[in-house]
Structure 1
Amino acid sequence: MTRDFAETNRQVFEKKSRTYKSDFAKGVETLVNVAQSQRTWVSNVWTDTEAGQGKDLRMLEYACGPGHISLALAPFVSSVVGLDISDGMIEEFNKNVHEAGRSDTMTGIKANLLADSAPAEVSGPEYFDFDIVVVSMALHHFEHPGKALKCLGERLKNGGVMMIMDLIPEQHHDHGLHQMGEVVHTISKHGFSAEEMQKMYEDAGAGDGFKYQVIEERLEFTKDGNKFHKTIFVARGQK
């Protein structure tokens, strides 16, 4: 992610960290439902499943925002690390984690994994060998999504699973975008097909058992009083 593109994302989401809850309340609800209902489709290894019982299961959420997805999946893993390039989002993440009483097993850290060299604060062994890496509704904000998946694939342990939720490609992706303001400048790609995702997973070394599923319930969010609806997918692949 070039400095300019990453910086634009950081600035925009810094501002959004304060209004994220209200702007995306309905969409967040949908994403949380999808994450929880599809988790056993993504992986059979969770603390409440036979395959995961008694194991120390570590999860990384990249571009974690305020932590809604991390909190939704936290009951089914042993620990969660949330990383984001925005101070405001990490503040919200840690505040939400504290309010949920999960500060002992969850932590949010400001870091840009997609910088030319990974920041020192996340270079220790505790930031590698995750059982599951999650990216929710952030891939289309990464300047180089394929490179992003490779970086995240390096953080997975062998046998670990990558779970991604994002937008499907739309033929008229510019519809209503002029109403979305500065967020437009943080979007690098308007959705990903199953074929594109599979190639990126394979290039990231996490293509085993690749699956891609379009979610029936559409994502709803509000911007300046305008409602938008988008169709999303969930994908999974194993290292």
Structure 2
Amino acid sequence: MDHGHHELTAANRDTWDSKAKDYDAKPWQKKIASQVAEALTSHADWLGAHWASTENRGCRLLDYACGTGSVTRALSTHITHATGLDISPAMLEQYTALLSSSHPSLHISTAVADFCSPSPDHALSGPEFHNFNIAGVALGFHHFSSPATCLSSLYSHLSPSGVLFVIDWLPNTVKAEDHVGSKRVHPESVQEEETEEWKKMKKTIKTNGFEEKDMRKLFEGAGFEDFGFVVLEEKFVLEMNGKKVEKTGFIAKGRKV
């Protein structure tokens, strides 16, 4: 039994359940959501999915670690069906509520799922959970206990020639001069001044970013071909533990054989 996986999953579920109702409420969170949307819409052709067409061709999206649905909303004009999967039931409730009101013509479904689990979830074995044209993970990858297991699971749920993308960030370190307001944070004092929210969030973070070579190895190890990697120009700015933290984002993609 993988106790590390179960502990991280429990920490993630607890954290995201508690944050579901105000997950996108803060200005910096809204800004990041808009950056994710812009990255996806501006790279839609580059992603190369079989998008929905005027000839009534449908496109089915698997939005994994979907949260409140920023990926689904960003791609709503390119798809006809969206399935949101998340380990947090509270996030799925928000996903359904927000999308059903803002995108009533989009076919929406959800399910609780943990694609990092070493044991397959037989509840997701039905045809409605397979043959997706595109699948994506946006800013959840660094929380996963086993990114390789997750990519293999996503691969199995795509259709032949289906595309997977991951939006996350490159590794970097927090600089002491990055701060919110006038309060300066020194490296030696960060540990003493950690907020309770940050202590809780830290428990959910597995990896401090990924390099292109890391993502290529993961994608190709899961069986994907046509690997692509684009670094995003505008940095993500997070406000964590009283500091502004800049992260350089990327989109990685691959195609199922």
**Global fold match (TM > 0.5):** yes
Q: Which runs of 5+ in 2 are unaligned?
A: 179-189
* RMSD value, Cα: 2.1
The answer to whether the 8 Å contact 2:88/2:112 transfers is: yes
**2:22 aligned partner:** 19
Relative to structure 1, the CA distance from residue 145 to residue 95 in structure 2 (aligned partners, 3 Å threshold; closer, same or farther) is: same
Which secondary structure state, in structure 1, belongs to the residue aligned with residue 7 of structure 2?
Answer: helix
Q: Which runs of 5+ in 1 are unaligned?
A: none
> 1:1-239 alignment to 2 at 5 Å?
2-23=5-26, 24-48=29-53, 53-102=55-104, 104-170=106-172, 172=173, 179=194, 180-206=198-224, 208-223=225-240, 226-239=243-256
Deviation at 1:114, TM superposition (A): 2.5
The answer to whether the 8 Å contact 1:25/1:221 transfers is: no
Q: Structure 2 CA distance, aligned partners of 1:45 and 1:81? A: 16
Deviation at 1:222, TM superposition (A): 3.0
TM-score relative to the length of structure 1 = 0.90
Deviation at 1:113, TM superposition (A): 2.6
Quick check: which has more Rg, 1 or 2? 2
Deviation at 1:205, TM superposition (A): 1.0
Q: Structure 2 CA distance, aligned partners of 1:217 and 1:126? A: 36
Relative to structure 1, the CA distance from residue 162 to residue 69 in structure 2 (aligned partners, 3 Å threshold; closer, same or farther) is: same
Which secondary structure state, in structure 1, belongs to the residue aligned with residue 203 of structure 2?
Answer: helix
The answer to whether the 8 Å contact 1:133/1:163 transfers is: yes
Which secondary structure state, in structure 2, belongs to the residue aligned with residue 159 of structure 1?
Answer: strand
The answer to whether the 8 Å contact 1:42/1:235 transfers is: no
The answer to whether the 8 Å contact 2:80/2:106 transfers is: no
| Equivalent residues, number | 234
Deviation at 1:100, TM superposition (A): 0.8
Which secondary structure state, in structure 1, belongs to the residue aligned with residue 85 of structure 2?
Answer: strand
Deviates more, 1:114-123 or 1:161-170: 114-123
Which secondary structure state, in structure 2, belongs to the residue aligned with residue 186 of structure 1?
Answer: coil
Q: Structure 2 CA distance, aligned partners of 1:219 and 1:182? A: 21
TM-score relative to the length of structure 2 = 0.84
Aligned sequence identity (%) = 29
Q: Structure 2 CA distance, aligned partners of 1:122 and 1:201? A: 22
